[in-house]
Chain A
């Protein structure tokens, strides 16, 4: 494991999410530090990408499949994403931040590669969602797009655009909230 990650984890008691197997950032303090340390490592030849993730329509999944069923769907979707993300030749921290929030920090892999991996993961889980009819799952809130799936808003750090790690996270979060206006899978 990379030194910067070991240094992070040495002073922390990290929780692990028993559903997804990811680090569970319950206090939401670990993720900002991960991003900050990653941004500190940025050089023109060492890119830093942060992606804010979200499981769309968790409420609808809970209503439809009960909580244990929703947990199973989440575990499957995350396992596919982990498979894609852990193939990166760089440092990856993929964690669960809350109910349906995820954070992905990647150091040493260009943004294009990260977005390609996200797209591939989305494509790979599509048959699973289709078989279970989850692409037309009604949303638990009114006037929200149907269906479920994991969506990620990935942003590459650039010191000329982002003054600090907070701005990088802010852009990713705003980007993700904007993405939530549309369904995860859009078919023309």
Chain B
């Protein structure tokens, strides 16, 4: 019901049951503000920053060829790790995804394998297998385990050594 209120306030209640049209109308509203920000960017003025889910806030004037600056060492490490195969550009906000997946892998290892996880680290995105899989190495009380987090949310384990 409250979502309807919000759509009513946006003047889009009539598109409630038409997801495609609703999405386009929302894009139009968001674009209006984005355009204003862009204009300011072009003028080189200092503007407020706007957060999109998983994407960085719009930065002030920056050449297209320049690399996006990383805000912390941690982000840089994850970015380096992911960009090393150079087969595809990692989506922004990937470090959060890795952290969440790592946590999920540790939790499910503890639950399903009944082990105590001492250390865990991400390894790489393998080129040979599905590039969307994430692989983690877990050091547990019963030895080393390689956990693969699949795109569909499943996590598989393989004892190493």
Contact = CB atoms under 8 A, between A and B. Distances in A.
Interface of A: 28, 44, 47, 52, 54, 97-101, 110-112, 115, 119, 123, 126-127, 130, 136, 143, 153-158, 160-162, 167, 170-171, 173-182, 185-188
A7 B90 CA distance: 48
A101 B7 CA distance: 12
A175 B100 contact: no
A101 B53 contact: no
B123 to A, nearest CB: 16
B50 A155 contact: yes
Contact of A161 (B48, B97, B134): B48
26 contacts: A44-B46, A47-B48, A52-B6, A54-B3, A97-B2, A99-B1, A99-B2, A100-B3, A111-B50, A112-B51, A123-B100, A126-B103, A157-B48, A160-B40, A160-B45, A161-B37, A161-B40, A174-B29, A174-B30, A177-B6, A177-B10, A178-B23, A182-B53, A187-B97, A187-B149, A187-B153
Given A111-B51, A157-B48, A170-B10, A98 B5 contact: yes
Chain B at the A interface: SS class: helix
A98 B2 contact: yes
Q: What are the 7 closest A-B residue pairs judged by CB atoms, nearest first?
A: A158-B48, A98-B2, A174-B29, A156-B48, A101-B2, A115-B51, A161-B36
Contact of B3 (A115, A130, A180): A180
Contacts of A182: 53
B80 interface: no
A182 B23 CA distance: 12
Contacts of B159: none
B22 interface: yes
A44 B99 CA distance: 34
Contacts of A115: 51, 57
B63 interface: no
B22 A188 contact: no
Contacts of A177: 3, 6-7, 10, 12, 22, 26
A28 B9 CA distance: 11
Contacts of A28: 5
Contacts of B101: 187-188
Nearest to A175: B30
A63 to B, nearest CB: 15
